[in-house]
Each structure stands twice: as C-alpha cells, then as structure tokens.
Amino acid sequence: MTPLQALQQTLAGEHAAVYVYGVLGGRVSSSEQPDLARRLSSAYTVHRGRRDQLTAMVRDAHGDPVAAQTSYEVPTPAVTAAQLGAAARVIEQRCASVYADTVGSTSRGNRQWAIDALLDAAVREMSFGAQPERFPGVAELLG
Amino acid sequence: MPPPPRPLPGPVTRRATLGGAAALTAVAVAGCTDDAPRRTVTPPPTRRAGTDPDVLLAATVLADERAMLERVKQTTRRHPTLKADLAGARAAHRAHVRLLARAVPKQTASPSPSTSTSGTPSARPSPGVPAKPGPALAALARAEDRLSHVGRRSAFAARSGAFARVLASMAAAATQQAAQLSAAAQDRA
C-alpha cells in the first residue's frame, strides 16, 4: 500500500465514522444518558476533525480526496444505550485497524499522525466499554 | 567501496523490510499462534547482527517491556489482592516480550531500558512498590504512560513499516493499560 492509498483508506474510514457517530448522536438521549451523549458528541467532533485533516493530507500528497458515500451501515441496531456503545466500539476498533495500517505505510509526519490517532482510538474504545487488548489495531495478533 | 547511499525514508511499504526487520515481521505474524507455535525461520541478517537499527530498536523496546512486566509482577507480589486488576497488564506485556524476544538475537538483547533513544529512561528499575493498593496502581499507571510515550517515539523511528505498526500497537496497549490502571486506582482511593 502506498502512503497515498493508506491516507485515502483512512479518509474513507473517517467518512464512515462521521456518518455513524452522527446517527448515534441523533439517537442518544442527552437528558437520560448525558455521559454517553457527551462521549458520542466528543467522538463525532474528533472524527470530523480527522476527516478534514486527512482531506488536506491527501491533497498534500497530490491525491484527489475520496468522497463520502451517501450512507453507511450502522454496526448494531443502535437503539439501547448498550447498543449505541457497542456500535461506537466497533467504529473505534475499525478505525484503530486502519490507523495501524497507516502507521505501517507512511513515514514522518503522516506516520506520527497515525500513531497518535491509534493511541486515541485505543483509549476511546475503552470509554465505550471495550477491554484493553494486547495488540490494538493489529488483527492478526488478536487479543 | 562504501555502501551505496541508503534511500531516504520515503514511501514505506510492508515489503520494504529487510534482515532483522523482516524477521520481526515474520515473528509478528507467527505470534498469533501461541497454542500451536510455528517455528519462525529467521532470515540470515544481511549485515552483522546488531547493526540493523530496527533490531537495536527492538532490543531496547524489549528491555522496556521486560522492565514493565517485572514491575507488574512486583506489584502483584506486594499486593496479592490486586492480582485480578493486574492480570490484563501482565498478559499484555508478556505477549509483547514473547514477540520481541523471538526477533532479537541473544547478543543484542540486553541494553538498558531506553537509554539509547532519550535521556529519560521509560521504565526505570522499580523504585519500590507503594504500600497501599491505590497508590501502587497509580504508580503502575504512570509507568504505563511513560512506556507508551517512549513507544510512540520508537514507532516513529522504526525503519520498517511493518515493525512500526507493531510498535505503535504496543504503545496503544500501554495507553490502554494506563487508562485501566488509573481508573482502578481511583476506585480504590
């Protein structure tokens, strides 16, 4: 995977994350689940910011930023608080995997960006109830 | 004749790994089969063992991970009631140590923790485990946080992209442990 391909793949992941967090944020009750609502809102803001950063990073690499799809599948029914949290965990774990791939396919500033994003995703997934892993973002090492 | 100039670290692909770094990658992939361990064939190093910067980096990270694992064990011995709280950290660092130990030739496996990458060692010899469980957990959380910071730098510095990916994952694991232990410490405060 070239650095540009890695950045494009990460941008595609951010498009999906922004969409899904937008859906999740619309379904959470900020009066009944204020903590969850705040965490979902924070995650939405972070991923929207990363999407914009990646768009610029792709252009810097002389690429044409990949566009968002019109819709994405939400990973769970996303109705109850538990389902909303589970959907957020899936999103963060998918993003962690993409960030780890980007670490391996880039260098310098782009690699540093991906390392920091991976560490953030690893902690963020825990805020949605995930347990610590031995090798976050690296599926073939499991656990 | 001097060796040809090394290309600048431009596009790093997983295939662009040689020697010790390739061994690291092979080990990384084989590491998932703990129950049925495959023998990983370590390619002969293209240069003298110990001169590959990624192997030296792996040896340094291995020393840090071993120091962290030992610190977790010391805390468990001092506070047996924390065994369950510390099981995850112990398993994670043991997995990291096993993975790295297979990639580092014996003769390069014994640097002091993190003395080569900065003046601030990440995992100093344990200064002693605090007498109360809460502070003991908090001290471990701080050590995990330092390990994660050093791991970030190591992942950035790695020549091999595949190795950088694994190092970044280990740093992320330490960050998760720091969060988990910090929360556990607050629960016991």
Q: What is the DSSP string of chain A?
A: --HHHHHHHHHHHHHHHHHHHHHHHHHS-TTT-HHHHHHHHHHHHHHHHHHHHHHHHHHHTT--PPPPPS----SS---SHHHHHHHHHHHHHHHHHHHHHHHHH--HHHHHHHHHHHHHHHHHHHHTTPPP-SSTT-GGG--
Residue B80 predicted with pLDDT over 90: yes
Nearest to A134 among B11, B164, B173 (CB): B173
- Tell me the pLDDT band of B188, cut-offs 50, 70 and 90: confident
Work out the average pLDDT over A27-45.
96
Torsion of CA B94, B96, B101, B107, to 10 degrees: -110
Contact B175 A122 (CB under 8 A): yes
Return d(Cα B17, Cα B159) in angstroms, integer: 8
- Smallest Cα–Cα separation from A78: which of A128, A123, A139? A128
Check residue B86 and give its pLDDT.
97
Q: Which residue has the higher pLDDT, B103 or B108?
A: B103
Distance (Å) from the C-alpha of residue B9 to the closest C-alpha of chain A?
7
User: Is the confidence at residue A119, as pLDDT, over 60?
Assistant: yes
Find the helix or strand (DSSP H, E) in which B137 lies: helix B133-157
Ranges A17-26, A91-100, B3-12, B128-137: which has the least confidence = B3-12
pLDDT confidence bin for A73, thresholds 50/70/90: very high
Q: A127 to chain B: nearest residue by CA?
A: B179
CB contact under 8 A, A115 and B175: no
Which class for A114: exposed (0-12), middle (13-18), buried (19 or more C-beta within 10 A)? buried
Test A122 with B173 for CB contact under 8 angstroms: yes
ipTM of the complex in this document: 0.96
Residue B27's pLDDT band, with cuts at 50, 70 and 90, is low
pTM of the model: 0.83
Mean local confidence (pLDDT), B61-75:
97
Q: Name the residue in chain B with its Cα closest to that of A135.
A: B169
Query: In this complex, do A132 and B92 lie within 8 Å of one another by their Cβ atoms?
Result: yes
pLDDT in tens, B28-62: 544 433 333 333 434 444 445 546 889 999 999 99
- Token output for B36: 């049925």
Q: How many CB atoms lie within 10 A of CB B98?
A: 14
A104 at B interface, C-beta within 8 A: yes
Mean pLDDT, residues B127-136: 91
Are B12 and A114 an interchain contact pair (Cβ–Cβ within 8 Å)?
no
**What is the Cα–Cα distance from B96 to B98, expressed in whole angstroms?**
5
Q: Which region among A105-109, A124-128, A131-135, B52-56 has the lowest average model confidence (pLDDT)?
A: B52-56
Residue A131 CA to residue A78 CA, distance in Å, equals 20
Residues of B in contact with A119 (CB under 8 A): 148, 152, 168, 171-172, 175
Rounded to an integer, what distance in angstroms lies between the CA atom of residue B149 and that of residue B154? Answer: 9
The arithmetic mean of pLDDT across residues B73-102, rounded, is 96
Percentage with pLDDT > 70 across chain A: 99
